[in-house]
Structure 1
Amino acid sequence: MDNVEAKADAMLRSPLGCGFLLAAEASGLPPEEIASQLICLYLSAYASRDVGVWQPDYQRIRVEILRQGQRHRDLAISILEQPAAADWFGPLDPTKQVVVLRNQQAPSLTSFVAPNSPLSNWERYAEKSENGIYTSTLVNRVASIFVGLDLPIGDIGIGHEPPYKCWLLKAEQSVRVFEIDGAQAWHELCVRYPAVGSSTHNTPDFSMDEGRIVPDWGAVANDWDAVHLSLGGLLTADQVRVQSESGWTYHWSWDIEQTLWLRWVFSGVEPLPDHEPQASPLEGLFHPLFVSRAGIY
């Protein structure tokens, strides 16, 4: 998506995008500060937590956040017009990828396990691969994985204990990266490499509709080295249903900006200083969660 207004409208279709705008408005910060590297990651993290699908009364929260978010289109445009927001929608910088592994062992070619087909039931449900490596983009010691661990968000912190050992992975600029910059891009990935969504788990939008398709990661790996969910992609694709003749898709559970590496294509692995938990720069503004402050509960 190249047009600022189109990006703003896409944010308004996503509960997470609307949650981001509601949190941004409540913060009282100017657009240029909202768009800054650290603040935008924390705002998106709080929004991701607010619209988590497993919280009590999720459906009512989702509807209310979407309703309230519609009045903030002008704010969305003013944020997206900031120079700092220019790279929210990609492309990936493959030379600045940080990884934090639960086993705290340095990643390597010998330990790397590529995604394969057929998918497990969990992969059909969660829309993620059990294999491969997940990284986040590191800029000035700031990365979405660090924010996700510090808050924490979803299941990102499960199995991790501070201090967090992390490594910088470097790949060539020529790597083949499928960019998820919105709900339509996620739908395209699923349509091009389809697998049937899990029938043994409740569908993530709780509709129980048949016909949900998810990516077959083994098939994706035949054509691509990585799949990157940009920050803009997260804010516009999360929990947005897209329907076509091929089926329907509903992106969820990725929680933060991140890249799934389907192949070992790294030319360098560099240990970084351990990440120590950090306090949120927005602490005090968002406790309790914004949805509680907004009277949605």
Structure 2
Amino acid sequence: MDADRIEQLCASPGGGVLLGWLADGTHTLVDLADPIAGPSVVSAAVAELSPWWDGHAATVEAAVRCGREHRDLAADVVDLAGAAGWWAPLRRESQVWLKPYESLDFPDPDTHFTPTEVGGFDLYVQRPADRIATSTLTSTAPDDWSAHHACAAAGHEDWVDDYEASTRTVRVSPAARVAEIGSAADWHNLVARHGVTAAPADRSDPRTDGEPWGSNGGRVPDWPGIATAYDGVHITQWAFLTATQVRVASPAGWSELWACAGEETTWLRWVFEEVGALRPFDPREEMR
């Protein structure tokens, strides 16, 4: 299994960026092991792969080449990741919700937020348009911290710093049905079973043709279909790092995960035993 995970790390663009940073001393294994710094470093590595930056294709190619050059270092990362639980199942008692934008609040038990259709936004980002997502607490001292906190503090993904953010701790029912995504293959298997093929866009764009975020023909999640089998989909820290922008193909088609905000679970119905009180979180303060 370690050999498989070493290969996943070395072959993925996110893994290549991370290994390059470790090799040149930008970051260390001590940084990765830290419960606050670790999620931030991993989020930053994946953020380097933004498809909207010039030279994206060259960045991805260089990252994969770099990953292939540092298999010995990859073994150290795999050992660390295993000890830190980067591919562990969801820790249901240690979830935290971070308000992603000003107009969205955590639902109450009577709120219906199970997706009923696959809209254009869902096809584009491969997640429900109005989703409720939690991330696992990696630290509670001096303050709560998770992959979502790391993304928000650094401005990665769609997090912005122009609203009064807040968090809630969440405990998930042991009866909740959770799909565990620990690799690019796991993501592909999910969308092969519960997915739709995104038809190519009407007009061509050389920046996006054949990519999962543009006109493509790839396999993407059918969230209403997933909700018939699962209550939530958990993307592990390992999958976030090693499955982002990694394409897998089968007779069902091809898939490519690309729009996660670190380790996280997208929830498709109310499965929460306890939801804590609102607590403030200021991404701008965390960045200073």
Counterpart of 1:165 in structure 2 is 166
Q: CA deviation at 1:93?
A: 0.8
Q: State whether structure 2 residue 262 is matched by structure 1 residue 270.
A: no
Tell me the SS of whatever aligns to 2:116.
Answer: coil
CA pair 134-206 structure 1, distance change in 2 beyond 3 A: closer
State the identity as a percent: 25
Q: CA deviation at 1:266?
A: 0.6
Tell me the SS of whatever aligns to 1:82.
Answer: helix
Counterpart of 1:252 in structure 2 is 258
Q: CA deviation at 1:207?
A: 8.9
Q: CA deviation at 1:155?
A: 1.4
Counterpart of 1:215 in structure 2 is 221
Q: CA deviation at 1:25?
A: 2.9
Counterpart of 1:186 in structure 2 is 187
Tell me the SS of whatever aligns to 2:62.
Answer: helix
Q: Is the 8 A contact 1:180 1:186 kept in 2?
A: yes
Residues 25-174 of structure 1 mapped to structure 2, 5 A cutoff? 25-27=23-25, 30-82=28-80, 85-101=83-99, 102=101, 103=103, 105-117=105-117, 119-140=118-139, 141-157=144-160, 161=162, 163-174=164-175
Counterpart residue identity of residue 187, structure 1: H
CA pair 258-7 structure 1, distance change in 2 beyond 3 A: same
Whole-angstrom distance in 2 between the partners of 1:274 and 1:247 = 43
Q: Is the 8 A contact 1:112 1:133 kept in 2?
A: no
- Give the alignment's Cα RMSD to 1 decimal: 2.3
Segments of 5+ residues of structure 2 without an aligned counterpart are: 203-207
Which whole-Å deviations, capped at 9, do the CAs of 1:68-102 have from their partners, x for residues lacking one?
22112111211221377441012001221111222
CA pair 182-190 structure 1, distance change in 2 beyond 3 A: same
Tell me the SS of whatever aligns to 1:37.
Answer: coil
| The one of 239, 245, 253 aligned to 1:239 | 245
CA pair 106-182 structure 1, distance change in 2 beyond 3 A: closer
Whole-angstrom distance in 2 between the partners of 1:83 and 1:245 = 32
Identify the structure with bigger relative contact order (alpha carbons < 8 Å, sequence gap 6+). Answer: 1
Count of residue pairs brought into register by the alignment: 275
**186-195 or 201-210: which moved more?**
201-210
Q: Is the 8 A contact 2:36 2:138 kept in 1?
A: no
Segments of 5+ residues of structure 1 without an aligned counterpart are: 284-297
TM-score, normalised with respect to structure 1: 0.84
Q: Is the 8 A contact 1:237 1:251 kept in 2?
A: yes
Q: CA deviation at 1:106?
A: 4.3
